[in-house]
Amino acid sequence: MIVHQHPFLAPCRFARLVLAEHAIEAELVVEPFWDARPQFVAVNPALKLPMAYDGERDPLCGAEVLMEYVDERYGEARPAHRLMPSDPFQRAEVRRLVYWFTQKFEEEVAGPLVTERILKIEMPSKRGGGAPDSAALRIARQNVVAHFHYLGSLAIGRKWIAGDSFTFADLAAAAALSVVDYLGEAPWGADPAVKAWYQKLKSRPSFRPLLSDKARLVAPSPHYADLDF
C-alpha cells in the first residue's frame, strides 16, 4: 500500500499499527495536509489522514475506513489473529472504542497537543503555524486525566480494553497515547492499570517503528522508547 500520513497524527499511527499487525508492507508518504495540494484535495476533499492506496483503486480515507477494509480483505487469511471479534456485540464494542480514540480523544487531547507543539512548527504562518496556544494546551492537559481514568477502568476490568481478545481498539488507544507520551504529556501516575496495559502494546513488534519517529525540533520524552518505564 501507499499511505499518505503524518507520523504524529494518532489516527495515522493507528493505521500504521493495523498494517503492521497484518504484515502488510506500506510506503509511507508524509502529507502536509495544511497545504491542501490540488492533487490531494481532488481525491480527498475532507483532507482526512491517513489516506491509503491499495493498488489501482480509489483511495481509502480515514483510519476507521482503512481498519474495516483491512479486516474484510486480509483478516480472513489470519483467523487465529483477527483483530475484529466474530460476535456482533463485541464488534460493536471494538468500533465504539476505536471511534472514541480516533475522534473524541483526538479532538480533546492528542489533536490539540500535537497541533500546538509539533504541527505549528511545521506549518507556515499563513497556514496556521506559529506560537502554541496556551489555552488549548491547558484544556488538553486537563482532559487527558479524565481519559486516563476511563481507559484505566477498561484496562483493569478486562483482559484487553474491548474484552478478552486483543483487537483494533487496543491499537487505536495505544496509537493515541503514543503521541501524548512522546510529548511527555501522559500522566502515567494517574492510573497504574493504563501503564501496565500500554507496556504490553509498546512491546509488540508492530510498535517499534513508532518508537523511532522524531519530530522536528521536538525531542521525545526521556522514557519514550523504553519498554519498561
Give residue limits of the domains in the chain.
2-81, 88-211
Residue 198 CB neighbours (<10 A): 22
Domain 2-81 in CATH 3.40.30.10:
yes
pLDDT at 140: 98
CATH of domain 88-211: 1.20.1050.10
Cell readout for 30 is 508524509
Give the pLDDT of residue 74. 92
Chain mean pLDDT for the chain: 96
pTM for this predicted structure:
0.96
Amino acid 229: pLDDT: 85
pLDDT tens-digit profile of 116-131?
A: 999 999 999 999 999 9
Q: What does each of the 229 residues of the chain score in pLDDT, given as a tens digit? A: 999 999 999 999 999 999 999 999 999 999 999 999 999 999 999 999 999 999 999 999 999 999 999 999 998 887 778 999 999 999 999 999 999 999 999 999 999 999 999 999 999 999 999 999 999 999 999 999 999 999 999 999 899 999 999 999 999 999 999 999 999 999 999 999 999 999 999 999 999 999 999 999 999 999 999 998 8
Look at residue 81 in the predicted model and tell me its pLDDT. 82
Q: What is the pLDDT of residue 228?
A: 87
> What pLDDT does residue 77 have?
82
Rounded Cα distance, 92 and 83, in Å: 13
